[in-house]
Amino acid sequence: MSIWGRLIGGAAGFALGGPIGAILGMMAGNAFDKKKKNSFNYAQISQEQKQQIFTISFIILAAKLAKSDGKVTNDEIHAFKKKFNIPKSEFDKVGKIFNEAKRKVYGYKQIADQVGLVFSSNKILLEEMLNNLFFIAASDGQISLNEVELLRSISESFSFDEKTFQRIFQMNLKDSSSDPYKIIGVDRGDTDQVIRNKWIELNKEHHPDNLIAKGMPEEFIEQSNKELAAINLAYDKIKEIRSTS
């Protein structure tokens, strides 16, 4: 069964407790250490729960993002359904969460902070979530200034520095306007070996097998593959610029 067919519990939790309630409702009761404030043990929840938490968190943040420039366009909704292979039988269920997220008084910042806490020990999934949010923002042909600022704020909630934000941002620009050094996350003055090591590190982190093992649903892999392709293209460009093999 696809991840979309396993979200009924999350949808019910969302309707009862708002966005944060939806996320918390998907977790095993022992995952939070009640004696320590803001302490969450990611390792204590199952692989299926990890995937559900990732998916519901993404739906909610995507809805908040789509609403950030004043309206949710048909392009954004179509892109969401198509990109993430949502079966027609699950449209109503996913749409319920998406629409509730648009209407609820809970701000995106509360959600982003909560998601950042849940995945604090698994930064690669937070990177993939932000990367997929950039795709939603660009689905209507351009990323508005409001969307960029909201994405930057989400990045801060995920405890990413500016270099990490720029790396993800640059990967989602058109090829001709992107900076290959920023995509790799290195400085122009770095040595060839430093750049190569970073490229190898990124390839290992963003490999589909690694992402799925860490809890990302397979439905989100397509965008990560494009991210990996952008990383490799950027590295090839840097080698061309430097005339290295």
Q: What is the per-residue pLDDT for 28? A: 46
Mean pLDDT by 10 residues, the chain (245 residues): 65 55 55 57 73 82 76 67 74 73 70 84 91 83 84 95 92 80 94 95 93 86 86 93 79
**What six digits make up the tokens of 40?**
């969450």
Domain limits, the chain: 3-242
Tell which residue, 193, 195, 59, 25, has the closest CA to residue 136: 59
Q: How many angstroms from the chain centroid is the CA of residue 184?
A: 18
φ, ψ dihedrals at 58, nearest 5°:
-65, -45
Q: Model pTM?
A: 0.81
CB atoms within 10 A of CB 154: 25
Tell which residue, 121, 124, 109, has the closest CA to residue 157: 109
φ, ψ dihedrals at 221, nearest 5°:
-70, -35
Helix axis angle, 162-171 to 221-242, nearest 10°: 100
Q: What is the per-residue pLDDT for 166? A: 92
Alpha carbon distances (Å) from 236 to 116, 200, 229, 230? 32, 13, 11, 10
Give the three-class secondary structure for 107. coil
Q: What is the per-residue pLDDT for 238? A: 94
Residues in the chain: 245
